[in-house]
A and B are shown apart, each in its own frame.
Chain A
Amino acid sequence: MRPLTEEETKAVFEKLANYIGKNLVHMIDRDEDDAYCFRLHKDRVYYLPLPMLNLATSIARPNLISLGTCMGKFSKTGKFKLGVTSLDWLAKYAKYKVWIKPSGELPFLYGNHVAKAHLGRITEDTPEHQGVVVFNMSDVPLGFGVTARSTLDTRKLEPTGIIVFHQADVGEFLRDEDTMF
């Protein structure tokens, strides 16, 4: 377990900022009694409260499996990929959200992209290629993705067109449960 280097921090923050934008400050700069930090362990980035960090240092590296919340992992080539386990935090601070109808929940949870026909609501002024968090109509976060078109263009799109590219969804807990950790 070690802190992130500059480049790694930059990579992580860039990815996060794509989804939560300026709210990223709230993740880094918190109250003293509620401080969190990022740590890297075996190519995975964990976000954990500071008191936990002090205790977790007593666990040896080969025996430590997971801490706090796993935000994502670094690939062998050094690229950072956000994982579905960070959904809680993204949903909390998300700037752009997409709500999908009940009919569209299951296809999304199977890993398909979101079509316009399944779209319930979308925040205004969502630009193109913007990271968004996908919710269902009862405000339960289902995953996150990247918009294919801006909000204006979405209006012009035909119902089968894709509006959100799927990046991660909670269905992965079942589909990829073997490879997740």
Chain B
Amino acid sequence: MGRRAKNKQADPTPLPGTVPDRSANSRRQNKKKRAPSAAAKDEKSKFKAPKGVAAKSGKERLPAHRRGKKVDEVDEDDSDLDEALRPGDFSEDEDEEETVKVKSIKKGKKAASSDDEDIERTGPVKQLEFSDSEDEDDQEGLNDDDEALPVGQHAFDLDEAPSDEDESDLEMDGDDFDIEGGSDDDDMLDDDDEDRDEEDSAFASSGDEDEAMVGEDDDDEKGIEGEDGDIQTNLEDELEETYTLPAVDNGGEGEEFEHGTSLRDVEQRMRWLVGVCMGKDEKTSKGVPGKSRSDHFVQLQHDIATYFGYNTFLVGKLMKLFPADEALAFFESNESPRPVTIRANTLRTRRRDLAQALINRGANLEPIGKWSKVGLQVFESPVPIGATPEYLAGHYMLQAASSFLPVIALAPQPEERVLDMASAPGGKTTYISALLQNTGIVFANDSNKARTKSLTANVHRMGCKNVVVCNYDAREFPKVMGGFDRVLLDAPCSGTGVISKDASVKVNKTERDFQLLAHLQKQLILCAIDSCNPNSATGGYVVYSTCSVTVDENESVVDYALRKRPHVKLVETGLEFGVPGFKSFEGKTFHPSVSLTRRFYPHKHNMDGFFVAKFKIEKRKKPSKAAEVEAEAAEEEQPQLKLDESGMIVEEEKTKFDDAEDRELIQESKRKHLLKTKGIKLNPKSKPAAASTKKGEDEDATTKAQIKMPKGKKVTDSRRPKKA
């Protein structure tokens, strides 16, 4: 109890919903009263003391990174954000901000007050300004403690010029803003007075008023005032609340952040919009009349971006993946961390022995699920799980559950040669090594030299004796070495599936990032396919996985690989759970076998967002001679219509093929193809000899000698032998 004790220990106020009056007046007076104490208070930091208060304070302000200006504020608020953003945690009580945040009605003032908010709150000087007015108000406000002025009577602030009747409320709030810095203080002060808050929030009218005010702010042009009518509603009547779609009204992306709505309101609106967009429930799905469903959708995206702290681009991208309610669940699940999981190292111990040992140390754990025989989920542990003697002895590895999946899909067999193209920090590599039972060889590659250190350390700690660690750019791979039985490519991705681990993904991913990543992933997957040995007795599998949920990093990369490497096909991943991959998305259709890939979501499977695809590499086949002849014949038969000089359509003469020239061209293109796909450099002259050494080719001598038309290569202008 401190300075604000008098505020905290207000008289018990009636429960919310019982006393319907006292709408704006009490609020205004409360604010006035609190303003002086705000003066006394210099920094926001001091009001962190009560837990609930602290939470509220955090919630009420926009997320720190978006506010951006005041350094000390940012720090404090951030810590509260997580707590704050937990859905449904909002107490009923912090609706003061809405009034605080609402800009003054006049547009000119709007700018000013926005500046006000951003200006560093200096205490005393500004407070002094309105201390005079406060005295007056205090007297009035004293009355207010017990009973508010009856509705309709407003306690005018003599300092302010009276404005419209309708906007009296707003004006009062505007007063608040005119007090520089007062608004901000009011934020904090609001938190102190929970009772007041309750009182005020009981009036969902406040919500409405806000909406109304917002609507007025933003809809000056449109002048929609339908919502102004309902000033007073009760909490129970929330369903009858009406919302506006400010983001839409502002012209979509124009104004990124909507000012003047509390997070609570944003959340409410968001949930309502989800209902609208789902269109299931008649009651809730009315929507704002006059606005289309897509408008509601846009508003929903904005609200999600606001509420959860994403940039709108990413929200838009992710929203396309799910229906609205699932999307909301997805975003919500990204706010909370996934459970800590460990993997028992079968080279050194058994899961049950390990579980026993850790339980003896006091940890609380249980097996991860039926789908894994080595995974354990740790609920809580008195000792740090990453520092127990068992950990140091290499009995287990801290590894996310989703990381188990690609290795389970890969299913390496003992005595195989396996490549892991992006293996740091080593969870998957050591799992592979454990499955191989320390036989065979694992090549663990990582392009980042610093991360190979931790990779090597983990490899040694877990007792994997069959691992070679190297540091190449993974795109070099078939050149360095090929002929692997299995290849695992856990491609670098945008990380949209692991937002719960790294919240910065919410804001720092742009369109360009996705483009670059997709390009890189496509290159990598082709390299992975080329490094795999199709003739392998037991293998010939490539697993592609990402910790991302976006389609352009997952299905489209897989589809690209299937197109570019026709001898490759998708097979069952072997994972029983998981959502099948999308066969088409946003107008793009993928190869039908893409449904064999698996997607994992945090909200469905309680693990990080993940994607796994398993390819089987088959032998490359040369097109058969019969097919070639047919192709040739087909082409020759088509009369080529061409415009001659005079512009008349003339049937072109049948072109004759110059075999010798064609042969050269074919050879040249084959050489280039080899170079591009496999990195095999051939001397242009010696190409015919080298062609026979291509891996996986089953050319016999006869076919080699013959001239083959490459499949699908039409005789175009450039290739047509030039004749006079």
- The interface of chain A, by Cβ under 8 A from chain B, is 48-49, 51-52, 55-56, 58-60, 62-70, 85, 88, 105-106, 109, 136, 138, 140-142, 170-171, 173-174, 177-178, 180-181
Q: With A59-B480, A66-B456 in contact, do A52 and B392 touch (Cβ < 8 Å)?
A: no
- Residue in contact with A56 in the complex, picked from B455, B459, B468, B471, CB distance below 8 Å: B468
A65–B441 CB distance below 8 A: no
A171–B392 CB distance below 8 A: yes
Nearest B-chain residue to A59, judged by Cβ: B470
Nearest B-chain residue to A85, judged by Cβ: B460
Task: For the complex, give the distance between the alpha carbons of A88 and B456 in Å.
Answer: 15
Nearest B-chain residue to A51, judged by Cβ: B441
Q: With A58-B480, A177-B457, A181-B456 in contact, do A66 and B393 touch (Cβ < 8 Å)?
A: no
Q: With A55-B441, A142-B389 in contact, do A67 and B468 touch (Cβ < 8 Å)?
A: yes
Query: Closest CB of chain B to A170's CB: distance in Å?
Result: 4
Q: With A55-B481, A58-B480 in contact, do A173 and B470 touch (Cβ < 8 Å)?
A: no
Q: With A66-B468, A105-B389 in contact, do A177 and B454 touch (Cβ < 8 Å)?
A: yes
Nearest A-chain residue to B394, judged by Cβ: A170
Task: For the complex, give the distance between the alpha carbons of A69 and B460 in Å.
Answer: 7
Q: Given contacts A60-B480, A65-B470, A181-B452, could you give 7 more A-B pairs where the C-beta distance is less than 8 Å?
A: A62-B471, A68-B467, A68-B468, A170-B394, A170-B461, A177-B453, A177-B457
Query: Which residues of chain B are near A56, meaning CB under 8 Å?
Result: 468
For the complex of A and B, list the 3 residue pairs with the smallest distance between their C-beta atoms, beginning with the closest.
A170-B392, A66-B469, A65-B469
Query: Closest CB of chain B to A87's CB: distance in Å?
Result: 9
Query: Closest CB of chain B to A153's CB: distance in Å?
Result: 29
Q: Does B466 contact A (CB under 8 A)?
A: yes
Query: Which residues of chain A are near B390, meaning CB under 8 Å?
Result: 140
Q: Does B161 contact A (CB under 8 A)?
A: no
- The interface of chain B, by Cβ under 8 A from chain A, is 357, 387, 389-390, 392-395, 417, 441, 443, 449, 452-457, 459-461, 463, 465-472, 480-481
B466–A64 CB distance below 8 A: no
B471–A63 CB distance below 8 A: yes
Query: Closest CB of chain B to A50's CB: distance in Å?
Result: 11
A52–B469 CB distance below 8 A: no
Nearest A-chain residue to B386, judged by Cβ: A174
Task: For the complex, give the distance between the alpha carbons of A48 and B466 in Å.
Answer: 8
Name 23 interchain pairs, CB-CB below 8 A, sorted by A: A49-B466, A52-B441, A59-B470, A59-B480, A63-B470, A63-B472, A65-B452, A65-B469, A66-B456, A67-B468, A68-B465, A69-B460, A85-B460, A109-B392, A140-B395, A170-B389, A170-B461, A171-B392, A177-B453, A177-B454, A180-B456, A181-B453, A181-B457
Task: For the complex, give the distance between the alpha carbons of A177 and B452 in Å.
Answer: 12
Query: Which residues of chain B are near A69, meaning CB under 8 Å?
Result: 460, 465
Nearest A-chain residue to B389, judged by Cβ: A105
Query: Which residues of chain B are near A55, meaning CB under 8 Å?
Result: 417, 441, 443, 468, 481
Nearest B-chain residue to A136, judged by Cβ: B389
A52–B466 CB distance below 8 A: yes
Nearest B-chain residue to A56, judged by Cβ: B468
Query: Which residues of chain B are near A51, meaning CB under 8 Å?
Result: 441
Query: Which residues of chain B are near A178, meaning CB under 8 Å?
Result: 453
B459–A66 CB distance below 8 A: yes
Query: Closest CB of chain B to A181's CB: distance in Å?
Result: 4
Query: Closest CB of chain B to A36's CB: distance in Å?
Result: 9
B389–A109 CB distance below 8 A: yes
Query: Which residues of chain A are near B455, meaning CB under 8 Å?
Result: 65
Query: Which residues of chain B are near A173, meaning CB under 8 Å?
Result: 392, 457, 460-461
- Residue in contact with A174 in the complex, picked from B387, B459, B469, B471, CB distance below 8 Å: B387
Query: Which residues of chain B are near A52, meaning CB under 8 Å?
Result: 441, 466, 468
Nearest B-chain residue to A89, judged by Cβ: B465
Query: Closest CB of chain A to B386's CB: distance in Å?
Result: 8
Query: Which residues of chain A are near B454, meaning CB under 8 Å?
Result: 177
Task: For the complex, give the distance between the alpha carbons of A142 and B390 in Å.
Answer: 10
Query: Closest CB of chain B to A32's CB: distance in Å?
Result: 16
Nearest A-chain residue to B449, judged by Cβ: A65
Task: For the complex, give the distance between the alpha carbons of A65 and B441 in Å.
Answer: 15
Nearest B-chain residue to A88, judged by Cβ: B463
Query: Which residues of chain B are near A64, meaning CB under 8 Å?
Result: 468-471
Task: For the complex, give the distance between the alpha carbons of A105 and B390 in Å.
Answer: 11
B393–A68 CB distance below 8 A: no
Best-buried of B393, B449, B466 by chain A (most CB within 10 Å): B393
